[in-house]
Chains A and B, each alone.
Chain A
Amino acid sequence: MKNTIKVERAKLNITQTDLADAVKVSKQTIHSVETGRFVPSTILAMKIAAFFKAKVEDIFELEDTD
């Protein structure tokens, strides 16, 4: 599953730690989600989307292999 978290972070000029603190997970988890190594739960995906004031499908996108 692809995502645009890195782009959204760059727009707001915030670090992985800032986002991690906001959605109450560790920095390593945000890093893993950003690089596509860990697929977040629905709850975490919705929290991340809510933080960026966007819809979940605007941040996360299914790939052909999913």
Chain B
Amino acid sequence: MRGFKTMYDYRGKVAGGIAAAVFAVVTLVQKLTHFTLFKKLNADQHYYLCLCMVAMSLYTMAFSREKNDDERVKEVRARSLQITFMLFAGVLLALSFNGIIFPDLQFDGTALLFLSGFYVVFYLVIFHIGIYFDNVWQFGEEPGIWQNLKKNKLMIVLIWIGSLILIELIFKLF
């Protein structure tokens, strides 16, 4: 795997963050005003295009190095990617199971956008909690995830409350 460049440098994170913020504002404005730029696309397609740009910006942000990308950051990144991939693969397997049981079930491109966008956001959230906020989390094989979760009760409660507020906001806005 040597020589295979998988990460942008720190400038990618800054650029991705700025682009995500700009496109999020554009998305919100588009949702409220229904403006269109391209004649061949309708307002809904413009809206999903804006959301896709937000997701792409977040993707750039997610796969960029930190300013000080040391071994602890690499370990947190590896664990965050592992958790995200576990969830992602699990959900895809569950969806494919449903697809076999219910052959009439259909997905469109927007479902794929939300599916991929959700996991990019999920990864970004747990990675940044890991490197900046998770001071009680003990790294390494011991004492295991369950003991760590018990130590981090306050953080878990805060994440749950934050997630519920975010979901409520998303449903209210869109």
Residues on A lying within 8 angstroms of B by beta carbon are 24-26, 28-29, 31-32, 36-41, 44, 65
A/B interface sample: 29 pairs, CB < 8 A: A24-B68, A24-B70, A25-B68, A25-B70, A25-B71, A25-B72, A26-B68, A26-B70, A26-B72, A28-B72, A28-B131, A29-B70, A29-B71, A29-B72, A29-B73, A32-B72, A32-B135, A37-B135, A37-B137, A37-B138, A37-B139, A38-B72, A38-B75, A38-B140, A40-B71, A41-B71, A44-B70, A44-B71, A65-B142
Of residues 136 through 165 on chain B, the ones whose CB sits less than 8 Å from some CB of chain A are 136-140, 142
Whether A39 and B70, one on each chain, are in contact in the complex, defined by CB atoms closer than 8 angstroms, is no
Q: Complex formed: what's the CA distance from A40 to B73 in Å? A: 12
A interface secondary structure, majority: loop
Alpha-carbon separation in the docked complex, A6 to B127 (Å): 27
Given A39-B139, A65-B142, 10 more pairs with CB closer than 8 A: A24-B68, A26-B66, A26-B72, A28-B131, A28-B132, A32-B72, A36-B138, A37-B139, A38-B72, A39-B140
Most central of A29, A31, A65 by chain B CB within 10 Å: A29
Shortest CB–CB separation between residue A5 and chain B, in angstroms? Answer: 14
Which residues of B approach A to under 8 Å, CB–CB? 66, 68, 70-73, 75, 131-132, 135-140, 142
In the complex the two chains form, is B73's CB within 8 Å of A26's CB? Answer: yes
- Closest residue of chain A to B148, judged by CB? A37
**CB-based nearest B residue for A21:** B68
Whether B70 pairs with A38 at a CB distance below 8 angstroms is: no
When distances are taken between beta carbons in the complex, the residues of chain A under 8 Å from B131 are 28
Whole-angstrom CA separation of A24 from B70 in the bound complex: 8
A38 to B72, CA, bound (A): 7
Max chain A C-beta neighbours (<10 A), residue from B72, B73, B75, B142: B72
Please give the distance in Å from A10's CB to the nearest CB on chain B: 21
- Nearest-neighbor residue (CB-CB) of B138 within chain A: A37
CA distance A38 to B74 in the complex (A): 12
> Which residues from chain A contact B72 at a C-beta distance below 8 Å?
25-26, 28-29, 32, 38
